[in-house]
């Protein structure tokens, strides 16, 4: 399969060039140029704005290694990324399975709409509505107290779980969509064939369905893990004092402290770490699938 | 091994009756072909037997035991799907091993059984390949090996040769029949190719609109169809319609046709006679006729189609076209427009109630 694709794309490359050109132009202008500027900034002592003196330095990168705080925060952010990704798998994969294999027709369309609704709502609105639900005496408390016979006070606001809840809610649609696409491509007759051979539903899941939907799981995990590690909005609003992560520190450098060079350097360290993790994980995941 | 009894099984999808009181006894160790036009309920019946779907009413028994409450994975059936349904994430050997390994068989047992099954379908050397590296016929044989390696009680095949070209199809028919005989498994084979049904099976069941039209050994259905549908669907037939005379029919123009078999019908009721094209003798007026050919009609050749070893003549008489197939023995060919005499014996004629 891989070889076929490779030869196919090689043959198809020349006529495809005009089609690819707009995308590459756009990528060059919108991503490559600003990114190069950022690389440049990350090696400066100060911004060349407002006529300040500046020179080249490795100090911004050295700062990461000289202060253990950055490493601690990076590890906390990686853990956050891992946990959110896992929760998205736990919640998103079964949902995708039901959408792809159990529901049919109208009900499938309706549920699908509900799943991708978060995509269409503004990120800030989404986060602040969670704040209203989770804060002390908020909607969650009111609801629980109305149902439960005893007084309860779950103050989830400004806590690690609140950050997780907010992030999972924002990112779970990615997992549902990528898994839905791969699950839907699995022919129902494969499942019937397996069951006629004596496999239980659980055995079918383990041996056929999960391996065949692995590409969707991997794509979903990559789409979620990378932005969550660098996230700052949800940690700041829902996490409060507990919400200091690597992403919020980078944001501070840009919007509060105005130390763009340090912010840029920290970003590229994050980028490098994430790329290394993805490179290490790829062969393991590919073998599983 | 076990036979399968389907008694009075009905299954509706909404208002549509996909199966309507179907009863068939599939004999132990036999090769049974389910034949019928598209949408007649063949796949639906197979799915009831496999347990992928459940009848609204009626009873299905495998090996004498009702399987009403037995789920698919416990029915011990082997199924070959039209699209083969091989697991693309596994090698050929792992595909074949699947049924044994989910049962928790020992590794060594699995290895020998898989090799034996692959040898049986003559794919012994291809165990390491992936399904997408195989040809259609090879995939079909892997699907067969995978279905029989678990020693199922019944083998269900849903148009397994449908996707193959003619030559490969004939090879696979022979192969399938050989394997079936070798392991003696009760086999139910869905097809809408009547030739395939005739050459391969011990018994044939013809379905139409969810109902069983007729069933029995191939010769019996071919020689004594009980309906115009059975006569024309399995093989080719000339149908003459008229009024029953007791032992035949009278055509509208007054000619009579004598039938050697069929039900006894009250004189005057509407009835028809079916005659196979190859049973009719065609001759010019002065040629000598066979002694037994009591049925005789006159007509005119309207068309002749040459097909190598035989020729098909279309003969017009009284507004009807009669089809006649003649072996090409080198004798004189009849020209279009030539007046001819058609004759055949009552033994070749079946009376059918309208
Ligand atoms: N799941 C279903 N929902 C609704 N209708 C169905 C379903 N399965 C089958 N049918 C209907 O039942 C009838 C019989 O279908 P079935 O698949 O058994 O036909 P078949 O004889 O196998 O035809 P073919 O030769 O085309 O495969 C068809 O009219 C079909 O539309
Ligand atoms: Mg079918």
**Closest residue by Cα to residue B235 from B318, B325, B165, B344:** B325
Mutate to test the interface with B, among A198, A213, A289 (most CBs of B within 10 A): A198
Contact of B46 with B188, CB cutoff 8 Å: yes
In this predicted model, which residue has the larger pLDDT, A176 or B266?
A176
The CA angle B225-B230-B235, to the nearest 5 degrees, is 90
What are B25's strand-pairing partners? B5
B83 CA → ligand 2 middle, Å:
11
B105 CB neighbours in chain A (<8 A) are none
Q: For residue B44, give the ligand 1 atom closest to its CA.
A: 18
Domain count, chain A: 1
Residue B143 has pLDDT above 70, yes or no: yes
Question: What does the pLDDT look like over B50-109, one tens digit per residue?
Answer: 999 999 999 999 999 999 889 999 999 999 998 899 999 999 999 999 999 999 999 999
Residue B211 has pLDDT above 70, yes or no: yes
Atom of ligand 1 nearest to the CA of B41: 18
Distance from residue B39's CA to the centre of ligand 2 (Å): 7
B98 closest CB neighbour out of A189, A197, A289: A197
**How many CA atoms are closer than 13 Å to the CA of B18, on its beta-carbon side?**
19
> Please, what's the largest Cα pairwise distance for chain B?
78
- pLDDT band for B246, please (50, 70, 90 cuts): confident
CATH architecture observed for domain B239-353 = Beta Barrel (2.40)
Between CA B137 and CA B141, with CA B138 as vertex, the angle to 5 degrees is: 90
Closest chain A residue to B155, measured at CA: A196
Query: Does A230 reside within a domain?
Result: yes
Span from the CA of B44 to the centroid of ligand 1 (angstroms) = 6
**Whole-number CA gyration radius for chain B:** 25
Residue A36, domain member (yes or no): no
Q: Ligand 1 within 6 A of B264 CB?
A: no
Angle at A187 between CA A185 and CA A188, to 5 degrees: 125
Q: What is the pLDDT of residue A1?
A: 39
Nearest CA owner, ligand 1 atom 31: B39
Protein residue with least CA distance to atom 4, ligand 1: B13
- In a 3-state reduction of DSSP, which class is residue A222? helix
* A26, part of any domain: no
Instruction: Write out the residues surrounding ion ligand 2, Cβ under 5 A.
Output: B 43
Q: Are strands B349-353 and B270-275 parallel, antiparallel or unpaired?
A: antiparallel
Nearest Cα of chain A lies from the Cα of B20 at a distance, in angstroms, of 24
| Tokens 């599983």, located at residue | A288
**Do the Cβ atoms of B44 and B18 come closer than 8 Å?**
yes
CB nearest to B72's CB, from A1, A195, A211? A195
Whether residue A192 lies inside any domain: the answer is yes
Q: Is the Cβ atom of B205 under 6 angstroms away from ligand 1?
A: no
- Asked if the structure places residue A228 within a domain, the reply is yes
Q: Where does the pLDDT of residue B26 fall: very low under 50, low under 70, confident under 90, or very high at 90 and above?
A: very high
**Would you call A198 and B150 a contact, using CB atoms and an 8 Å cutoff?**
yes
We report the CATH number of the domain holding residue A137 as 1.10.3720.10
| Inter-chain residue contact B85 with A189, CB threshold 8 Å | yes
Ligand 1 atom with the shortest distance to the CA of B47: 18
Higher pLDDT, A14 or B39: B39
Query: Domains of chain B: which residue ranges?
Result: 4-223, 239-353
| Per-residue pLDDT tens digits of chain A, which is 289 residues long | 344 444 445 556 778 888 888 888 988 888 888 889 899 989 988 877 767 788 888 989 999 999 999 999 999 999 999 999 999 999 999 999 999 999 888 888 888 888 888 778 888 888 888 888 888 778 888 888 888 888 877 778 888 999 999 999 999 999 999 999 999 999 999 999 999 999 999 999 999 999 999 999 999 999 999 999 999 999 999 998 888 999 999 999 999 988 889 999 999 999 999 999 989 887 877 776 5
Rounded Cα distance between A263 and A257, Å, is 10
Say if ligand 1 is within 6 A of residue B18 CB.
yes
Q: Which residues of B touch A200 (CB under 8 A)?
A: 73, 102
HSE of A212 in the Cβ direction (CA atoms, 13 Å)?
Answer: 22
Residue in A with minimal Cα distance to B88: A212
Report the residue from A189, A199, A211 with minimal CB separation from B73: A199
- The ligand whose atoms approach the alpha carbon of B18 most closely is 1
Asked if residue A229 belongs to a domain, the reply is yes
Ligand nearest to the CA of B81: 2
Domain membership of residue A281 as a residue range: 68-288
B83 neighbourhood in chain A, CB within 8 Å: 187, 189
Superfamily of domain B4-223: P-loop containing nucleotide triphosphate hydrolases (3.40.50.300)
Which of A3-17, B141-155, B278-292 comes out lowest in average pLDDT? A3-17
CB nearest to A196's CB, from B79, B87, B89: B79
Ligand 1: residue whose CA is nearest its atom 24 = B38
* B43 in contact with ligand 1, CB cutoff 6 A: yes
Q: What is the DSSP letter of A56?
A: B
Domain presence at residue A49: no
């Amino acid at each position: 399969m891989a070889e076929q694709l490779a030869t196919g794309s090689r043959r198809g490359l020349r006529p495809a060039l005009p089609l690819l050109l707009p995308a590459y132009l756009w990528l060059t202008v919108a991503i490559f140029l600003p990114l190069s500027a950022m690389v440049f900034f990350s090696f400066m002592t100060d911004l060349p704005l407002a006529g300040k003196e500046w020179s080249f330095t490795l100090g911004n990168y050295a700062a990461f290694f000289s202060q253990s705080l950055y490493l601690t925060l990076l590890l906390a952010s990686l853990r956050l990324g891992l946990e959110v990704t896992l929760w998205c798998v736990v919640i998103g994969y079964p949902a995708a399975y039901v959408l792809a294999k159990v529901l049919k027709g109208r009900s499938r369309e309706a549920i699908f709409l509900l799943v991708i609704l978060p995509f269409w709502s503004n990120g800030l609105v989404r986060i602040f509505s969670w704040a209203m639900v989770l804060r002390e005496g908020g909607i969650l408390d009111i609801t629980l107290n109305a149902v439960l016979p005893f007084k309860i006070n779950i103050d989830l606001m400004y806590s690690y779980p609140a950050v997780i809840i907010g992030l999972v809610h924002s990112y779970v649609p990615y997992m549902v969509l990528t898994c839905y696409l791969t699950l839907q491509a699995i022919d129902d007759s494969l499942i019937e064939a397996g069951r006629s051979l004596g496999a239980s539903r659980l055995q079918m899941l383990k041996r056929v369905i999960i391996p065949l939907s692995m590409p969707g799981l991997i794509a979903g995990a990559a789409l979620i893990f990378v932005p969550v590690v660098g996230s700052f909005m949800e940690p700041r609003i829902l996490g409060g004092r507990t919400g200091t992560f690597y992403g919020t520190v980078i944001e501070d450098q840009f919007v509060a402290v105005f130390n763009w060079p340090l912010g840029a350097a920290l970003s590229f360290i994050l980028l490098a770490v994430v790329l290394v993790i993805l490179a290490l994980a790829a062969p393991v995941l590919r073998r599983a699938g | 091994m076990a036979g399968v009894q389907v008694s009075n099984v009905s299954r509706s999808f909404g208002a549509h009756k996909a199966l309507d009181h179907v009863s068939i006894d599939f004999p132990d160790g036999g090769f049974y072909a389910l034949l019928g036009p598209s949408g007649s309920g063949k796949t639906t019946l197979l799915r009831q037997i496999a347990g992928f779907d459940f009848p609204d009413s009626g009873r299905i028994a495998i090996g004498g035991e009702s399987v009403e409450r037995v789920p698919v994975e416990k029915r011990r059936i082997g199924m070959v799907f039209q699209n083969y349904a091989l697991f693309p994430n596994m090698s050929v050997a792992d595909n074949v091993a699947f049924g044994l390994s989910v049962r928790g068989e020992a590794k060594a047992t699995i290895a020998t059984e898989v090799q034996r099954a692959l040898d049986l379908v003559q794919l012994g050397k291809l165990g390491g390949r992936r399904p997408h590296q195989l040809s259609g016929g090879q995939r079909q044989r892997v699907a067969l090996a995978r279905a029989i390696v678990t020693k199922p009680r019944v083998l269900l095949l849903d148009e397994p040769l449908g996707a193959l070209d003619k030559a490969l199809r004939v090879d696979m028919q022979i192969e399938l029949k050989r394997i079936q005989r070798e392991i003696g498994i009760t086999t139910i084979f869905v097809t809408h190719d009547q030739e395939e049904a005739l050459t391969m099976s011990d018994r044939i069941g013809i379905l139409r609109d969810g109902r069983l039209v007729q069933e029995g050994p191939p010769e019996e259905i071919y020689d004594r169809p009980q309906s115009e549908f059975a006569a024309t669907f399995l093989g080719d037939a000339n149908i003459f319609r008229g009024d029953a005379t007791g032992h035949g029919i009278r055509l509208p123009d007054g000619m009579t046709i004598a039938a050697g078999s069929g039900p006894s019908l009250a004189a005057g009721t509407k009835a028809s006679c079916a005659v196979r094209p190859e049973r009719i003798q065609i001759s010019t007026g002065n040629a000598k006729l066979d002694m037994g050919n009591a049925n005789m009609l006159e007509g005119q050749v309207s068309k002749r189609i040459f097909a190598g070893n035989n020729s098909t003549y279309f003969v017009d008489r009284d507004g009807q076209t009669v089809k006649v197939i003649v072996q090409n023995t080198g004798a004189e060919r009849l020209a279009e427009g030539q007046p001819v005499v058609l004759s055949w014996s009552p033994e070749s004629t079946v009376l059918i109630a309208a």
